[in-house]
Structure 1
Amino acid sequence: MSWKFWQKNKDAEPKKKKTKTREWVDAILFAVIAATIIRVFFIEAYTIPTASMERSLLIGDFLFVSKVNYGARIPMTPVAFPFAHHTMPLTGTKAYWDGVQWKYRRLPGTSDIKRNDVVVFNYPQGDTVALEQQDADYYQMVRNRGWKSVNSDYTIVSRPVDKRENYIKRCIGIAGDVISMKGGLVSVNGKQEKLKNTGQMTYDVVFKTMDINFSIFEDMGFNIQSDDIIQSGNGYQFNATEDMMNEVKKLDFVQSVTLTVKPDGEREADVFPFDPNRNWNVDNFGPFVVPKKGWTVALDSATMPLYERSIRIYEGNTVAKSGNGWLINGKPATSYTFKMDYYWMMGDNRHRSLDSRYWGFVPEDHIVGKALFIWMSYNTNGTFFNKIRWNRLLRGIK
């Protein structure tokens, strides 16, 4: 039998048709691969879980987050279950294998992070987690209860950078900026920056009478079912924007409206950098410099509380105290030059936000992407007919 005759008969044989099962498997496999590529390199859906960005972003807002704007981050933990972040939905087990870790790399982006951008990033202090208390900050637990107590009572795990919880905040300071805050007002490079129009603060309100129809406040945009208004002492605490409170002041039964801020000099132990020599609180802190790639800082008792974690944890150096000086990677050092850019992130709902005031700087390798627009908004407290917030659909984020 000649080769040509054999090839001709082979070509004439009908090809085997794929079974329905094989067709479904191929289609699902293709969809998973395509969706994963889109999610990693282009755009990803994100849900607002807390009130830290109200009224800019509400609980129940569904966002699209762009990976293109700042440049897509190459997966640092490449072996992972598709569409799961760090935990499998049903079993509660790890959704990734950290036996393979890649160095931080990022594709070129269309822009740099700018001040006032709304940014999604991995929670910097999420490197260590108590599994039974994942909503709590491990380091705050240790400060309050002690390392031995926390590590004996809970299952403690470590997570790689790209598998830490996703947070969303507004970028207040970029690398190299000088940040401070007085009386609840942020200053960037010496210039005061008012809170966005949609941002909220806490106000003490005293009424002339206790006979109040609170539906008036609902008409003004307050959510009575939440804790926008709570009783406090002889008055009430309102959590609202400045414009909303200006309207409250006009009501004839309102005696006084006072912005509620911590006194300058009253130290809060859980406020960054947890330095007993700094009497800082959520409304009064700084000034300090946000680290910038290539910036060299002198190492001393004033700077190390601010930058020690960045040098040790985020940039991967060993840091130890030696007499009156410091050892970095075992060698005496009087200064350190940063390898990455860092950012200062804060929530628009200033008194109800866990942000950089509590855990410090956000390294560039933790940046996930830029929030673009709201594609769906769902009010969990609404009735059957008004659960969808129609006026927020396809709204851009400012």
Structure 2
Amino acid sequence: MANFYSILLTLVTLAAGLIWLYDAKMKRPARVALIQQAEQEANKTLSAEERERLAPQGTIAEFAQSVFPILFVILILRSFLYEPFRIPSASMMPTMLAGDFVLVEKFSYGVRDPLFRSELFATGLPQRGDVAVFKYPVNPQVDFIKRIVALPGDRIIYRNKTLYIEPACETRNESCPPLQVIKQTIQPQDEIYFNRTTPLQRFTEQLGDVEHEILVDPSVASRAAFYYQQPGTAMDEWVVPEGHYFMMGDNRDNSEDSRYWGFVPYDHLVGRATLIWMSLEFERGADSWVPQWFPSWIPSGVRWHRLGTVE
């Protein structure tokens, strides 16, 4: 459940705060009065240890007072500023690998409350080329991460593994931009990626102001028959509705994205991926220090060279 931890953190923080507040308003005055009376009778100021022994704070209230500030700071950071996500699959290779941990900027596309995800106020709009985390439209309880390829009103074609975009235009006249071929420039294979035994071709692509790399599997034929069919368009063509976005993975032939299930509503966006802050490797070769019988979730190494900003 994608929103489970946000809800749990909010409820636990609220509970700790209410317990602390109840103790401060209802219990603490009685403890203070008892200590003042004892000091008057003894005609001296009691030490902190004596005060605690005479009028101890309840264990639960003491724990709530200790953890509430920490939980509150974490809640603010996670809900409104930044949240860590783990990349579970290969759909965004080579930009992101399975085992990468990314930091997502939550306020990039509006500030939302952590429980109901209602927008509190707008802060910015998605841009073509952004790598974004969003609620999977087919099952909003699951988080997906893909690249924003097309914006509201754009016409997009993906044919013969080539991307075409006609940017949105309010008035269709001579000043409107024409259908553009998104040029792919093949890159040298300094680091080869595979789909099983097939080496993948590596290209650079320019989307808006963002230049990034994609992978294409030459052994995979067109899958247009499985594409999401939008009424009134060709099999491999889509027009992005208002308030929606078209997402694609950088590993073009190994990505379940908008080509297969349609568009992402604006209110499903979680944030923009900005930084790879950790990258763990889980593959175990013959020379791995991790025994083969160890659980698969135990990492076998850290890919330090991958740490940095997301392109």
TM-score range, shorter chain: 0.5 to 0.7
Question: 1:196 and 1:166 mapped to 2: Cα distance?
Answer: 31
Q: What is the Cα deviation at residue 42 of structure 1?
A: 1.3
In structure 2, what is the equivalent of residue 361 of structure 1? 263
- How far residue 11 of structure 1 moved from its aligned partner, in angstroms, is 7.8
Q: Is the 1:73–1:106 Cα contact (8 Å) retained in structure 2?
A: yes
| Residues 192/384 of structure 1: CA separation in 2 closer, same or farther (3 Å cut) | farther
**For each residue in 1:125-182, what CA deviation from the matched residue of structure 2 results, as whole angstroms up to 9, or x when unmatched?**
11xxxxxxxxxxxxxxxxxxxxxxxxxxxxxxxxxx4xx2000000000111111122
Aligned residue in 2 for 1:291: 241
Whether 1:242 and 2:203 are equivalent positions in the alignment is: yes
Aligned AA (2:105)? S
Counterpart in the other structure of 2:69: 30
- Paired with 1:17 and 1:11, the residues of 2 have a C-alpha distance of 10
Partner secondary structure for residue 351 of structure 1: coil
Q: 1:114 corresponds to which residue?
A: 127
Q: Is the 8 A contact 2:186 2:201 kept in 1?
A: no
Identity value in percent: 30
Alpha-carbon offset, residue 368 of structure 1: 0.4
Structure 1: 4+ residue segments shifted above 6 A: 8-11
Equivalent position amino acid for 2:200 in 1: N
What SS does the corresponding residue of 1:241 show, helix, strand or coil?
Answer: strand
* Cα distance in 2 for residues equivalent to 1:25 and 1:187: 56
Q: Using the alignment, how far apart are the partners of 1:197 and 1:122 within structure 2?
A: 32
2:281 paired residue number: 379
**TM-score if structure 2 supplies the norm length?**
0.64
1:241 maps to a residue whose letter is R
Q: Are the aligned partners of 1:228 and 1:240 in contact in 2 as well (CA < 8 Å)?
A: no
Task: Give the corresponding residue for 2:229.
Answer: 273
**3-state SS of paired residue (2:138):** helix
Contact 2:110 2:119 in 1 (8 A): no
Q: 1:12 to 1:290 in 2, by over 3 A?
A: same
Matched, 1:262 2:227: no
Given the alignment, which residue of 36, 39, 42 partners 1:12? 36
The answer as to 2:256 corresponding to 1:342 is no
Tell me the residue number matched to 2:310. 397
What SS class does the counterpart of residue 164 from structure 2 fall into? strand
Deviation at 1:196, TM superposition (A): 8.5
Partner of 1:147: none
- Structure 2 unaligned spans of 5+: 1-31, 39-50, 167-178, 205-216, 291-299
Gaps of 5+ in 1: 1-7, 79-101, 127-160, 199-216, 231-236, 244-257, 293-340
Q: Deviations over 1:231-270 (max 9, x none)?
A: xxxxxx3224138xxxxxxxxxxxxxx944635xx751x3
Give the letter aligned to residue 143 of structure 2.
N
Q: Please, which moves more after superposition, 52-61 or 375-384? A: 375-384
User: What's the secondary structure of 1:68's corresponding residue?
Assistant: coil
Following superposition, the deviation at residue 195 of structure 1 comes to: 5.3
Residue of structure 2 equivalent to 1:186: 163
Does the 8 Å contact 2:185/2:203 carry over to 1?
no
> CA offset at residue 387 of structure 1?
0.7
CA distance in 1, matches of 2:84, 2:264: 21
CA distance, structure 2, for counterparts of residue 9 and residue 73 of structure 1: 44
Q: CA deviation at 1:228?
A: 3.6
In 2, distance between residues paired with 1:106 and 1:196? 42
Distance 1:9 1:279 in 2: 79
Task: Work out the number of aligned pairs and report it.
Answer: 229
- Counterpart of 1:172 in structure 2 is 149
CA contact (8 A) 2:131 2:148 kept: yes
Give the CA deviation at 1:273. Answer: 1.7
Shift of 1:103: 7.9
Partners of 1:278 and 1:165 lie apart in 2 by 29
Amino acid at match of 1:105: E
- Residue 100 of structure 2 contacts residue 276 of structure 2 at CA under 8 Å; is this kept in 1? yes
User: Which amino acid is 1:356 matched to?
Assistant: S
The corresponding residue for 1:93 is none
Distance 1:108 1:267, change over 3 A: closer
Q: CA RMSD in A?
A: 3.2
- Taking structure 1 as the reference length, what is the TM-score of the superposition? 0.51
